[in-house]
Homo-oligomer: A and B are copies of this chain.
Amino acid sequence: MLMTVTNNRKKDFGNKREQILLAAVEMFLEKDFYQVTITEIAERAEVGKGTVYEYFSSKEGLFKESFSYCADSYLQSFSKHLFETTSVKQTLQDIVNTHLELLKDNRNKLHLLFNERPLSFQELQAWVIDRRQELLEGITNLFRKGIDAKEIRSDIDIEMAGRLFLALNCVVMGGMVVLDNIDLEEEQLSKLLDIFWNGIGNLQVRGDRFPVSAE
């Protein structure tokens, strides 16, 4: 599929590596790092056990690549909208929509990210924190743009807003789709974004700020 028949010699090279990586991703999404064995991966990839070590340095290395493989497409679903020139409101909507699609497509695959198993590796934990930080910066930039454009209140704490928006995506949406297996609808999503955009407070008391002042 990847190579033509004419390039016979190299056909298998790329193939084997990919076969193994895909098999590993499948396995790691089903089970714990420690519950997945190299033997299983090799069997699913239909290669010999030794072959795994031709392409990956160790089980841990293979896991890290599997993780990145999944994480990349996930991060994409956020970042590809960050430089849109439409309204910020529209951008948030776009991000959330793209993210939902991805969640539904990969309902199972994203387990990997949601139960955060990989965090047990110190190194990956750092990697994840770094990536989240980058993402957060992208989002806060977006919000800054929104403030400049007077779309967004100027007195909010931008970092907090960014973090809450990330949580809204990864944890609220992700949790519903992946863990609770809920078939999240556009309408619910709008309601969710509405809360983020307009708050839950009643208009009567709109304008109040936390901390709650003595009444």
Contacts and interface: CB of A to CB of B under 8 A. Distances in A.
A53 interface: no
A188 B161 CA distance: 11
A192 interface: yes
Nearest to A170: B171
Nearest to A179: B129
Nearest to A173: B163
Contacts of A193: 210-211
A192 B167 CA distance: 12
Interface string A146-190: 100011111011001101100110111001100110000010111
A151 B120 contact: no
A10 interface: no
Contacts of A87: 212, 215
A151 to B, nearest CB: 6
Contacts of A195: 156-157, 160-161, 164, 196, 199
A179 B33 CA distance: 21
A198 interface: yes
Task: Tell me how many chains of this kind the complex includes.
Answer: 4
A115 interface: yes
B157 A167 contact: no
A201 B153 contact: yes
Nearest to A35: B120
Given A87-B212, A191-B157, A150 B204 contact: yes
Contacts of A167: 164, 167-168, 171-172, 175
Nearest to A169: B167
A194 B210 contact: yes
22 contacts: A33-B34, A93-B210, A129-B179, A129-B180, A151-B205, A152-B200, A152-B201, A152-B202, A153-B200, A157-B188, A160-B191, A163-B176, A164-B167, A164-B192, A167-B167, A167-B171, A189-B211, A193-B210, A194-B210, A195-B196, A197-B200, A206-B206
Across the A-B interface, the 4 shortest Cβ-Cβ residue pairs: A199-B199, A157-B191, A198-B199, A190-B210
